[in-house]
Amino acid sequence: MRVLGIDPGSETTGWGVIEGDARRYRLVEFGTVRARARERFAARLLKISVGVESLIEKFRPDVCAVEEAFFAVNAKTALKLGQVRGVVLLAAERARVEIAEYAPRLVKQTVVGYGAAEKQQVQEMVRVLLRLRAAPAPFDASDALAVAITHLHHTGLARPVKTAPARASLEALLAANPRRRAPRIASNATTPPTRDPRALTFVGPNTRQG
């Protein structure tokens, strides 16, 4: 699977392309689509739209993974970011590319393991996961690659997985030794509720430049 990750920005929109699956993937290319701050905002939107369309035409991704808008104190900033996301989504939809959207906190949680991680931490983990000699820069590009990695991870988790060996052993043990019926007790007696040993919750553990 080839994924185009996008980190929308009103002046600099980061992008990164990786391919593979949840267990193994490699970097294809990354970069940014830049617009001048002095340009009219409508002109910037056009440049971003054309840039994303060119990327889709060049790399032919299976999925376009886009970072969702973060909470911004400045309403004007949030509105502009939403408009940038709009042209990115439109470009992908026009090209008939599947679209996936991920919250910034989920991206950080997936890549770093901490939902409030700093950009430098995300950048370094992207370098490690993609087995790069140098961290991808600028942050807009490393964030876009993180979004793409997040998509591969969550797509992989959606697939059926084998039962963990420890759980399989426990289930076999319980099947071979079914619970015996508890003896009857007087109706006026009270006993604390017993916990069903089968009612256990298991939490399983949870990824190159080629």
Active site residue 140: yes
Write the DSSP string, 111-128.
HTS-TT--HHHHHHHHHH
More confident residue, 160 or 130: 130
Share of the chain above pLDDT 90, in %: 64
| Gyration radius from the chain CA atoms | 24
| Rounded CA separation 201/199 (Å) | 7
- 124 has a pLDDT exceeding 90: yes
More confident residue, 195 or 94: 94
More confident residue, 191 or 135: 135
| Token reading at 25 | 């993937």
Question: Other CB atoms closer than 10 Å to residue 24's CB: what's the count?
Answer: 11
Using alpha carbons, select from 25, 51, 145, 155 the residue that is nearest to residue 100: 155
Active site residue 67: yes
Mean pLDDT of 186-200: 47
Note the pLDDT tens digit of each residue in 49-60: 999 999 999 999
The model's pTM is 0.73
Mean pLDDT of 106-125: 95
Helices (H), the chain: 41-59, 75-94, 104-111, 119-129, 139-157, 165-176
The pLDDT value recorded for residue 76 is: 84
Active-site residue, selected from the candidate residues 19, 67, 68, 98: 67
Active site residue 7: yes
- 208 has a pLDDT exceeding 50: no
Active-site residue, selected from the candidate residues 62, 140, 143, 196: 140
Q: Give me the sign of the Cα torsion angle 69, 59, 62, 162.
A: negative
More confident residue, 105 or 193: 105
- 200 has a pLDDT exceeding 90: no
| Token reading at 117 | 């991680």
Q: Distance between the two ends of the chain, CA-based, in angstroms?
A: 15
The pLDDT value recorded for residue 171 is: 56
